[in-house]
């Protein structure tokens, strides 16, 4: 059995020193002790945060046969006798002392990418909204061309300072292409994980207001997102939105080709000719003369598809495979899922479930999308708080209230203390009925579901949109009964 990294490679990468002299063998890497199993030798990386110290779980993972354990030097120095005894007791385990376990995890992942991915096409995807859906589209297109087994990609939602390193450790090394999403929750997180991956192609979906509470301005967000393009080589390409006002800023230092995507790029340049927005049922367009049906609804998903097309063409994927990949992509759980469901009152409605995440950009887009729907019944919005907006929260929720008043859905249910700002601007406009609930709890969900079932009729459209922590998905079975479980 071959180790992901040899002891020499790992020591050099993390700039560590060893306790004892055990050999180094690991085929798995984990930061959560609950994910360590005895089934395969694992390197455990205990992380230290404001409220958590992963080192307290070291004995737990040793009991589960962890084979390599990293330890912060400061932690070791505070309990040297304890760790010396531990390394003696578990003499077959490779204990390594490092300055910072998070940075060591990233450095080890970088070394692994260098070792395993020399012949792979590496693609990074980031942006304020749409990055996960864009990643799924890119993966589907890549699978259509290279085959399922030849594509490595972000595992689950592992796109962060720890998530991306854990994702790249899942690369086997015989894949043709790797497609990885990059998220952020702090300054320079994108910079750190970009150094791990060093992608050849990079997509920035857009520069919006997600995480503005953490970074303060769109300018600061753009300064972070553009770090995803830092390692694009001369034979690579950066793909950015033509209509994005930060496109040139994000690409001003790029060494490779700069490619812009967008609805206003001519078919002669992009190969794409728009045909029809089919509302709830996606978008039709032509790609180099081939008819393509994108099943994902929303003009913003069409825009995401344009970024994937631009990237795929730069990689050299033929149009027929791009068509096949885009036509077979499915919506992700909780992200713009469109389902026909029967309410508990027996009426058949269309449910739009988009409650995995929410920020001002994504909420505006889905509200506008619903507002433009034709040949449907009443439009019923259930909107919950957008989190992580900081000092921008009141202004952003007020903007949602104003947009509601412009779109004029018949019924609006607002949930959460921050949505109070939206209620003040949405209520009393036209024939809109607005009800506000301070908490996202079972009692309020039951009240909302009962009211919807009382007032909804055939062909109505119900939108569920809010940050994941608001738990709007709990409404689905209350609205649709057992049928909702499949929605």
| pLDDT tens sequence across 100-153 | 999 999 999 999 999 999 999 999 999 988 888 899 999 999 999 999 999 999
Residue count of the chain: 487
What is the average per-residue pLDDT within 450-474?
A: 93
pLDDT at 485: 47
Q: Using a pLDDT cut of 90, give the percent of the chain over it.
A: 74
Tell me: pLDDT of 286 over 60: yes
- What's the predicted TM-score (pTM) here? 0.80
Tell me: pLDDT of 189 over 80: yes
- Residues pairing with 339 in the sheet: 351
pLDDT at 482: 63
Tell me: pLDDT of 412 over 60: yes
The enclosing H or E element of 294 equals: strand 290-294
Per residue in 306-363, pLDDT (tens digit) is 999 999 999 999 999 999 999 998 766 667 788 888 998 899 999 999 888 888 888 9
Tell me: pLDDT of 80 over 50: yes
Mean of per-residue pLDDT scores for the chain: 91
How many Cβ atoms sit within 10 Å of the Cβ of residue 264? 9
Tokens of 214: 């953490």
How many Cβ atoms sit within 10 Å of the Cβ of residue 89? 10
What is the average per-residue pLDDT within 161-180?
A: 94
Tell me: pLDDT of 405 over 80: yes
Strand order in the sheet with 283-287: 272-277, 283-287, 290-294
User: Which residues, 6+ apart, have CB-to-CB distance to 51 below 8 Å?
Assistant: none
Which residue in 406, 410, 414 sits closest to 457, CA to CA? 410
What is the average per-residue pLDDT within 25-31?
A: 96
Q: For residues 75 and 55, is the Cβ–Cβ distance under 8 A?
A: yes
Geometric angle at alpha carbon 262, from 261 and 264, rounded to 5°? 125
Alpha-carbon distance values, 54 to 28, 49, 60, 137, 183 (Å)? 17, 8, 11, 35, 22
Predicted confidence band at 481 (pLDDT cuts at 50, 70, 90)? confident
Rounded to whole angstroms, how far apart are CA atoms 343 and 425? 30
Tell me: pLDDT of 186 over 90: no
Rounded to whole angstroms, how far apart are CA atoms 193 and 197? 6
Which residue in 60, 203, 50, 71 sits closest to 129, CA to CA? 203
Q: Using CA of residue 425, residue 428, residue 430, residue 432, what is the dihedral sign?
A: positive
Tell me: pLDDT of 487 over 60: no
Predicted confidence band at 424 (pLDDT cuts at 50, 70, 90)? confident
Predicted confidence band at 213 (pLDDT cuts at 50, 70, 90)? low
Per residue in 36-74, pLDDT (tens digit) is 998 899 999 999 887 789 999 999 999 999 999 999 999
Tell me: pLDDT of 428 over 80: no
- DSSP letters spanning 350-409: EEEEE-S---HHHHHHHHHHHHT--S---EEEEEEPPPS-GGGHHHHHHHHHHHHHHH--
Which residue in 312, 133, 282 sits closest to 206, CA to CA? 133
pLDDT at 50: 76
Q: For residues 449 and 475, is the Cβ–Cβ distance under 8 A?
A: yes
Tell me: pLDDT of 486 over 50: no
What is the average per-residue pLDDT within 380-392?
A: 90
pLDDT at 367: 92
Predicted confidence band at 211 (pLDDT cuts at 50, 70, 90)? low
pLDDT at 23: 93
Q: Using CA of residue 330, residue 130, residue 121, residue 7, what is the dihedral sign?
A: negative
User: Which residues, 6+ apart, have CB-to-CB distance to 185 below 8 Å?
Assistant: 160, 161, 211, 214
């Amino acid at each position: 059995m071959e180790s992901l990294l040899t002891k020499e490679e790992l020591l050099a990468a993390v700039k560590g020193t060893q306790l004892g002299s055990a050999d180094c063998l690991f085929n798995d890497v984990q930061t959560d002790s609950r994910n360590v199993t005895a089934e395969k030798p694992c390197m455990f990386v205990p992380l230290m945060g404001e409220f958590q110290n992963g080192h307290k779980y070291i004995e737990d993972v040793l009991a589960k046969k962890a084979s390599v354990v990293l330890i912060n030097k400061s932690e070791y120095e505070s309990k040297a006798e304890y760790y010396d005894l531990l390394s003696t007791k578990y003499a077959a385990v490779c204990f390594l002392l490092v300055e910072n376990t998070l940075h060591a995890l990233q450095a080890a992942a970088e070394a692994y990418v260098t070792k395993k991915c020399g012949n792979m096409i590496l693609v990074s995807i980031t942006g304020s909204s749409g990055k996960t859906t864009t990643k799924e589209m890119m993966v589907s297109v890549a699978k259509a061309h290279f085959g399922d087994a030849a594509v490595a990609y972000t595992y689950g939602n592992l796109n962060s300072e720890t998530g991306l390193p854990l994702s790249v450790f899942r690369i086997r090394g015989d894949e043709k292409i790797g497609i990885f999403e990059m998220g952020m929750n702090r300054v320079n997180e994108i910079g750190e994980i970009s150094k791990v991956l060093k992608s050849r192609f990079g997509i920035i979906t857009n520069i919006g207001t997600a995480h503005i509470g953490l970074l303060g301005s769109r300018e600061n967000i753009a300064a972070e997102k553009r770090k995803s393009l830092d390692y694009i080589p001369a034979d690579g390409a950066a793909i950015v939105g033509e209509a994005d006002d930060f496109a040139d800023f994000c690409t001003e230092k790029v060494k490779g080709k700069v490619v812009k995507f967008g609805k206003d790029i001519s078919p002669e340049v992009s190969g794409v000719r728009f045909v029809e927005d089919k509302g709830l049922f996606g978008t039709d367009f032509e790609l180099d003369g081939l008819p393509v049906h994108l099943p994902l609804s929303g003009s913003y998903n069409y825009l995401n598809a344009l970024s994937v097309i631009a990237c795929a063409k730069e990689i050299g994927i033929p149009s027929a495979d791009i068509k096949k990949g885009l036509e077979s992509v499915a919506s992700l759980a909780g992200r713009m899922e469109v389902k026909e469901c029967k309410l508990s009152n027996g009426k058949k409605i269309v449910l739009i479930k988009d409650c995995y995440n929410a920020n001002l950009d994504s909420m505006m887009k889905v509200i506008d999308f619903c507002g433009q729907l034709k040949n449907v019944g009443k439009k019923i919005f259930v909107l919950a708080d957008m989190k992580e907006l900081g000092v921008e929260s009141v202004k952003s929720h007020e903007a949602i209230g104003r947009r509601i008043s412009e779109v004029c859905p018949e019924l609006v249910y607002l949930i959460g203390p921050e949505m109070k700002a939206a209620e003040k601007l949405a209520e009393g406009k036209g024939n809109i009925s607005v009800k506000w609930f301070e908490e996202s709890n079972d009692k309020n969900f039951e009240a909302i579901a009962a009211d919807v079932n009382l007032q909804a009729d055939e062909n109505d459209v119900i939108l569920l949109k809010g940050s994941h922590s608001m738990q709007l998905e709990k409404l689905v079975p209350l609205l649709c009964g057992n049928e909702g479980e499949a929605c």
